[in-house]
Structure 1
Amino acid sequence: MEVIVLREETILLIDDEKGILAMLEALLMREGFQRIATATTAHEALQLVERTSFDLIVLDVMLPDMDGFQLCSEIRKHTLAPIIFVTARSGDLDKLMGLGIGGDDYITKPFNPLEVVARINAQLRRRKFDQIKVPVKAQSFDYGYFVLNKTAGQLIINGEDTHCTAKEFELLLFLCEHPNQVFTALQLYEQVWGTALIGDEKTVVIHISRLRKKIESDPTSPKWIVNLRGIGYKFVPLKKVTTYEK
């Protein structure tokens, strides 16, 4: 007899297709999740987010009363919980939009339900690890042109506080902590997002592109985050870094 380990995490599923909600809910319950809420409209989802602390949110883009991207922005006013988009909108611009406004992962329909569950588990593992891991000594990386402050969660470029998403910040932080080391796109995805599955290279490419637009003087000819064709990416400090400790 199979023993199911009960999970304490709270998950919100948002989709106007009740069949998809029922399928995902059933699969998650088989994984031991007990606290699963569902919503078929943006209005209903926002009401739930305002009164419940969720550990993870699965969000469809095409909702009847509000675009899912707009809803993601509204949700981000209430929680930093991981948001996984699951949608039929498969274009690169759609994915760029979703990841750029606060999404942590993006899965296109039709999808393998088991992959969705795997990515949910990966995001939750990553979040748990982030909460318990011992911080490294360096809390701030000062390269002159830009400063990455781990403690404050700030990216400062030319003295100005520059907005970046949680995953952009985590990716840049990982690169700063591992200068002059080469990583494939899948290795970066595994380190920052917590797992590696088919198709994750595009997610990394999008985030690298967004970071280059922020820190590179010429994003078309990058000097900080360089691409070694056919091998991977490497962060190259252009000046000796000054690290600050607690």
Structure 2
Amino acid sequence: MEKQTILIVDDEKEIRDLIEIYLSNEGYETIKASNGVEALETVEKHHVDLIILDIMMPKKDGIQACMELRKTKNMPVIMLSAKSQDMDKILGLTSGADDYLTKPFNPLELIARVKSQLRRYYTLNADKPRNDSVLTLDDITININTREVKKGSESIKLTKTEFDMLEYMTRNTGIVLSVEKIYENVWKEEFLESENTVMVHIRKLREKIEDDPRNPRYIKTVWGVGYKVEK
């Protein structure tokens, strides 16, 4: 099997080198960049399976780089930050990141998250049944095979997590889904204090598919229970 390539983006050389050692020991190829500008240039020149992206960097920070990256790329992004406040985490996830880890971090935890994100991105998607390849939600069309979403004739660019969430909820149209159930079915991990993570991705998804995100037509909140999709 061809080795998967991880892009490590951090302005601190010691951190880049430390992460590289642990990833190399797990059999991954690595590419390193010291800022957001270099990161964006790298993904245009090389195939990258996952990005580990620091937030606080010169030239272009991780938030800006992630938002620009999401215009064209869909690989998993794990954000690193020395900040631990909830709003910083929400900002990172809102910009398009799939996961968030606060510095100082345990390298073994980072490796576990890398494996989890790659498993979701490749293995689990490859195992999905090919039936029901096109789902519809009123004027929204979701092509499972090509992972394309259109609202009428307009293409909607979703991140990997946003697409998985929309697919899962659409397949369960009319059913009230708890935050825990959404997390475990989309992230394929045990639910551990992840309510904010689901909430942020729901909000981003609404911003992309709803005409009025404050008064959603498709993704409804069922207060005290969870969310449901309605046609």
Q: TM-score, normalised by structure 1?
A: 0.75
| Change in 2 beyond 3 A, CA 1:227/1:44 | closer
Determine whether 1:149 maps to 2:115.
no
**Deviation string, structure 1 residues 144-181 (Cα, Å, up to 9, x no partner):** 34333334534333554444333222211111112233
Q: Find the aligned partners of 1:108 and 1:197 in 2 and give their Cα distance.
A: 19
Please state if 1:20 is matched with 2:15. Answer: yes
Residue 202 (structure 1) shift = 1.2
Any conservation in 2 of the 1:141–1:176 contact (CA below 8 Å)? yes
Residues 139 and 110 of structure 1: CA distance in aligned 2, closer, same or farther (over 3 Å): same
CA distance in 2, matches of 1:162, 1:125: 24
How many equivalent residue pairs?
231
Root mean square deviation of aligned Cα: 3.2
* Cα distance in structure 2, aligned partners of 1:184 and 1:123: 22
Matching of residue 63 in structure 1 with residue 48 in structure 2: no
Distance 2:185 2:156 in 1: 23
Structural mapping, 1:94-173, within 5 Å = 94-157=88-151, 160-173=154-167
Deviates more, 1:86-95 or 1:110-119: 86-95
Distance 1:45 1:11, change over 3 A: same
Correspondent of 1:9 among 4, 12, 24: 4
Matched, 1:194 2:188: yes
Equivalent residue of 1:106, what SS?
Answer: strand
Structure 2 counterpart of 1:179, one-letter code = T
Q: Taking structure 2 as the reference length, what is the TM-score of the superposition? A: 0.79
- CA–CA distance in 2 between the matches of 1:226 and 1:198? 23
User: 1:133 Cα deviation (Å)?
Assistant: 1.8
**Deviation at residue 92 of structure 1 after TM alignment:** 5.2
Give the whole-Å Cα distance in 2 for the aligned partners of 1:14 and 1:79: 16
Contact 1:11 1:57 in 2 (8 A): yes
Q: 2: distance between equivalents of 1:215 and 1:112?
A: 37
Structure 1 gaps of 5+ residues are: 1-5, 239-246
Change (3 A) 1:60 1:197: farther
Residue 206 (structure 2) aligns with: 212
Structure 1 residue 68, shift from structure 2 partner: 1.6
Aligned match of 1:174? 168
Q: Residue 42 of structure 1 contacts residue 66 of structure 1 at CA under 8 Å; is this kept in 2?
A: yes
Could you tell me how far 1:217 is from its partner in structure 2?
Answer: 5.9
Q: Which secondary structure does the structure 2 equivalent of 1:171 belong to?
A: helix
In structure 1, what is the Cα distance between the partners aligned to 2:208 and 2:158? 9
Contact map agreement 2:156 2:209 (CA 8 A) in 1: no
Contact 1:146 1:159 in 2 (8 A): no
Q: Distance in 1 between matches of 2:88 and 2:45?
A: 29
| Percent identity of equivalent pairs | 38
Q: Which amino acid aligns with 1:127?
A: Y
- The structure whose Rg is larger is 1
Distance 1:43 1:220 in 2: 34
CA contact (8 A) 1:14 1:40 kept: yes
